[in-house]
């Protein structure tokens, strides 16, 4: 009984968001094509408030199966409706195949998936690090008949996440995507801020359709859900079917064809991150620096932060941070003796610093994540861009002073060992800083909550 109670509590907080009726009816109206044959077999694999099925029953579909793990949910047996009050992953191999699978699956972080479900997943999948909804989508492949259709509402993340490439591969191997509805920033679920999109996939290995139809909400920053959705509220355009699971799947409208062909990584090294984990502890103001002794001054470096990025300009803005490389200072006694002002400053934050997320063997006076430090040091000349931006036209910024880059920007530098003349190198740098290139990156960058994500993965996919 206790087990059941706690299972139910965790579900309440984690999984049970029901899909508002206006969203459900718009999805059905727009995505469901098989409208004539009311006998098609339909499955809702995690039904809870059975929003989708209610709508389908209203329009006379009858051959319906429900699954729901939560035994506390009252399910009234209805004619023609088959109900399984089980874990989907326990019974998915024992049920029939369907013409239509339609629903809003539970979005549950891997670490929060309920143990008994996790045990089932461990037996069925080679990778057990996914969000629960990835497994729901992948399993739907096996449960669909050939040419069957899958309609569902999910977070947009799996189009971008590196981890989701296993899921993207499974989709490419088995399906083509027919339509996507992009709801932008509309807050669909009361307590959950997730940006969601609705899909229609068709199970068919031969890609019968060259393009994907996209419906994109016109006012992407609109949050209010009390709308009667209609097609006029959406822009419609087409994009090509995706063909590579290793890359980001971008659903933005391609406005222009840019003529860049060469992979950017042929010419530029792209690198990220020195992350302090607690900026305020390491940030140094000029008046503090005046008191520092010589040893201490050697540990203060100029850092470029996202806020220092100014479109196009070669500029000279930076922040000063204490930055102590690993093993440079062996113990607290040494820190106190040779670097007394730094010790006094960091001591104040010691407790918070020790709570940062970091790897073993780190000392509290060190930064949390240090990647590509060698590259940061090597390259005086850097072109950088904030990882996240709301600017309409976010451009790269140029700096040649040898500053370090912090975790909120990504930097590019011409490869060290490349065989190019000085003029050619300059040409590439000017290209990245040009208006044309700015247009190119802004038209292609993926967005989340209307913020542009200039991630390492995105920059790596660019052409020049």
Ligand X SMILES: C[S@@+](CC[C@H](N)C(=O)[O-])C[C@H]1O[C@@H](n2cnc3c(N)ncnc32)[C@H](O)[C@@H]1O
**Residue whose CB is less far from ligand X, 47 or 441:** 47
The piece of 9-17, 204-212, 245-253, 298-306 that touches ligand X (CB under 6 A) is 9-17
Mention every residue, 6+ apart, whose C-beta is less than 8 A from residue 136.
Answer: 45, 46, 88, 105, 106
CB of 71 to ligand X, least distance (A): 10
**Residue whose CB is less far from ligand X, 52 or 268:** 52
**Residue whose CB is less far from ligand X, 225 or 324:** 225
**Residue whose CB is less far from ligand X, 121 or 412:** 121
CB of 93 to ligand X, least distance (A): 13
By C-alpha distance, which of 297, 296, 301 is closest to 274? 301
Q: How many CB atoms lie within 10 A of CB 341?
A: 16
**Residue whose CB is less far from ligand X, 53 or 432:** 53
**Residue whose CB is less far from ligand X, 89 or 199:** 89
**Inter-axis angle of helices 21-31 and 51-58, nearest 10:** 60
CB of 46 to ligand X, least distance (A): 3
Q: Any contact of residue 70 with ligand X (CB under 6 A)?
A: yes
Q: Any contact of residue 68 with ligand X (CB under 6 A)?
A: yes
Residues in a beta bridge with 155: 196
298-302 long-range contacts (CB < 8 A, ≥24 apart) are: 299/323, 299/324, 299/328, 299/339, 299/342, 301/403, 301/404, 302/401, 302/403, 302/404
Q: Any contact of residue 11 with ligand X (CB under 6 A)?
A: yes
CB of 171 to ligand X, least distance (A): 20
Q: Any contact of residue 26 with ligand X (CB under 6 A)?
A: no
Mention every residue, 6+ apart, whose C-beta is less than 8 A from residue 163.
Answer: 129, 130
Q: Any contact of residue 15 with ligand X (CB under 6 A)?
A: yes
Handedness of CA 426, 431, 435, 437 (dihedral sign): negative
If phi over 0 gives left and psi between -120 and 50 gives alpha, with beta otherwise, what is residue 361?
left
* Spatial strand order in the sheet of 382-386: 268-271, 409-414, 382-386, 397-399
Q: Any contact of residue 19 with ligand X (CB under 6 A)?
A: yes
**Residue whose CB is less far from ligand X, 28 or 177:** 28
| Placement of tokens 């995505």 in the chain | 31
- In this structure, the strands spanning 81-84 and 64-67 are parallel
C-alpha–C-alpha distance, residues 305 and 280, integer Å: 13
Q: Any contact of residue 133 with ligand X (CB under 6 A)?
A: no
User: How does 200-218 read in b/e, with b if 16+ C-beta sit within 10 Å?
Assistant: bbbbbeeeeeeebbbbbbe
CB of 404 to ligand X, least distance (A): 44
Using CB under 6 A as the binding criterion, the count of chain residues that bind ligand X stands at 24
Based on DSSP, count helices (H) and strands (E) in the chain, helices before strands.
Answer: 17, 22
Rule CB under 6 A: choose which of 67, 144, 329, 412 binds ligand X. Answer: 67
Q: Any contact of residue 17 with ligand X (CB under 6 A)?
A: yes
**Residue whose CB is less far from ligand X, 192 or 231:** 192
**Residue whose CB is less far from ligand X, 88 or 365:** 88
Q: Any contact of residue 52 with ligand X (CB under 6 A)?
A: yes
From residue 80 to residue 119, what is the string marking binding to ligand X with x (rule CB under 6 A)? -------xxx-------------xx-x----------x--
Q: Any contact of residue 27 with ligand X (CB under 6 A)?
A: no
C-alpha–C-alpha distance, residues 336 and 342, integer Å: 8
Q: Any contact of residue 379 with ligand X (CB under 6 A)?
A: no
Tell me which residues touch ligand X (CB under 6 A).
Answer: 11, 15-19, 44, 46-49, 51-52, 67-70, 87-89, 103-104, 106, 117
């Amino acid at each position: 009984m206790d087990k059941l109670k706690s299972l139910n509590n965790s579900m309440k907080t984690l999984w049970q968001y029901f899909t508002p009726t206006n969203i459900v009816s718009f999805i059905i109206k727009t995505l469901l094509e098989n409208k004539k044959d009311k006998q098609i077999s339909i499955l809702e694999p995690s039904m809870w408030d059975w929003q989708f099925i209610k709508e389908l029953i209203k329009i006379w579909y009858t051959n319906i199966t429900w699954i729901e793990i939560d035994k506390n949910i009252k399910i009234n047996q209805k004619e023609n409706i088959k109900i399984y009050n089980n874990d989907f992953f326990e019974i998915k191999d024992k049920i029939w195949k369907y013409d239509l699978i339609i629903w809003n699956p539970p979005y549950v972080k891997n670490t929060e998936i309920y143990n008994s479900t996790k045990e089932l997943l461990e037996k069925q999948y080679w990778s057990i690090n996914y969000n629960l909804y990835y497994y729901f989508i992948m399993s739907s492949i096996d449960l669909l008949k050939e040419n069957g259709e899958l309609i569902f509402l999910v977070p947009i993340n799996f189009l971008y996440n590196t981890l989701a490439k296993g899921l993207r591969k499974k989709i490419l191997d088995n399906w083509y995507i027919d339509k996507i509805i992009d709801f932008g920033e509309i807050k669909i679920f009361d307590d959950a801020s997730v940006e969601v999109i609705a899909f229609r996939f068709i199970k068919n290995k031969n890609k019968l359709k060259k393009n994907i139809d996209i419906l994109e909400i016109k006012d992407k920053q609109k949050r209010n859900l009390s709308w009667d959705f209609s097609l006029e509220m959406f822009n419609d355009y087409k994009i090509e079917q995706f063909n590579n699971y290793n890359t980001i799947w971008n659903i933005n409208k391609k406005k222009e064809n840019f003529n860049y062909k060469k992979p950017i990584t042929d010419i530029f090294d792209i690198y990220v991150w020195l992350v302090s984990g607690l900026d305020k502890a390491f940030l140094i103001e000029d008046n503090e620096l005046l008191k520092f002794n010589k040893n201490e001054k050697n540990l203060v470096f100029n850092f470029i932060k996202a806020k220092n990025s100014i479109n196009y300009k070669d500029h000279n803005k930076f922040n000063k941070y204490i930055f102590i490389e690993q093993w440079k200072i062996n113990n607290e006694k040494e820190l106190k003796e040779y670097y007394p002002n730094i010790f006094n400053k960091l001591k104040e934050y010691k407790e918070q610093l020790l709570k940062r997320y970091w790897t073993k063997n780190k000392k509290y006076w060190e930064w949390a994540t240090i990647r590509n430090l060698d590259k940061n040091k090597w390259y005086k000349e850097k072109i950088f861009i904030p990882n996240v931006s709301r600017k309409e036209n976010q451009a790269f910024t140029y700096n040649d002073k040898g500053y370090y880059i912090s975790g909120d920007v990504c930097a590019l530098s011409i490869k060290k060992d490349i065989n190019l003349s000085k003029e050619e190198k300059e040409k590439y740098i000017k290209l990245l800083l040009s208006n044309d290139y700015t247009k190119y990156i802004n038209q292609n960058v993926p967005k989340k909550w209307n913020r542009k994500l200039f991630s390492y993965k995105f920059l790596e996919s660019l052409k020049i």
